[in-house]
Amino acid sequence: MIVMALLSVMNPLGTVPVFVSLTLDHTHQERKKIVFRTALNVLIILLISFFFGKYILIFFGISLNSLKIAGGLIIALSGFSLLSGEFNKHKGMKKEKVKEDLKTRTDISLTPLAIPMVAGPGTISLLITYNQEYEGLTNITIILGAIVVASFCIYLVLKSSFYIVKTLGASGINALSRIIGFIVIAIGVEFIISAVVSIFNLD
């Protein structure tokens, strides 16, 4: 369940067209290295978010309910962007900006692929919430396992990106992204409802 929530919010399928367009001129070996580094960067970002995100809340005096509402809005907006086909724009991925940025940088595994395409604000807020809500060694172990599995799924999807594009095509990827969009919106709404219930003690 946690793995599916993470993958829905991260939406690796939506990253596939971006990855393909950015690595058209790369060799197969270069793509493999980029894919591995991207998955590794995502894993590190997720772990840092899970273990240290709560200290950001403490530093800025942000309550868990406030984070849930803000995170829920961000996640829901990501879902709406998937439904409207503007996921890349929502992530700040304008083609002109990316191409200009690549002129001064050769490594794309951290940015723009890992951040903000895969591990964006919605994913980070989701993990911070999990850290605050789930305690105990068993729950933490399950979440860590989910993070590792999700990162490995990112690796597999990006590694197969050219095959996915060839098989599904732009229309197929767009259709699946819209379906995922509904799930992402539901996750965001659930976050907001949970916070409202907690604030007004409706449970």
pLDDT of residue 97: 52
Q: Is 0.85 surpassed by the pTM of this model?
A: no
**Please, what's the b/e burial string for 137-162 (b: 16 or more CB within 10 A of its CB; e: otherwise)?**
eeeeebbeebbeebbebbbebbbebb
Q: What was the pLDDT predicted at 104?
A: 47
Q: What is the pLDDT of residue 62?
A: 86
- The ranges assigned to domains in the chain are 2-198
**The total number of residues written for the chain in this structure:** 203
Report the distance separating Cα 113 and Cα 147, nearest Å: 17
Q: Mean pLDDT per segment of 10 residues, for the chain of length 203 residues?
A: 87 84 87 95 95 87 87 84 66 52 64 85 89 88 95 95 85 79 86 87 60
Distances 155 to 16, 22, 67, 81 between C-alpha atoms, Å: 11, 16, 29, 23
pLDDT value, residue 127: 92
Residue 155: its pLDDT value, please? Answer: 96
Query: Measuring CA to CA, which residue among 123, 114, 121, 116 is closest to residue 143?
Result: 123
What pLDDT, on the 0 to 100 scale, is given for residue 51? 93
Phi, psi of 107 (to 5 degrees): -90, 115
Q: What is the pLDDT of residue 157?
A: 94
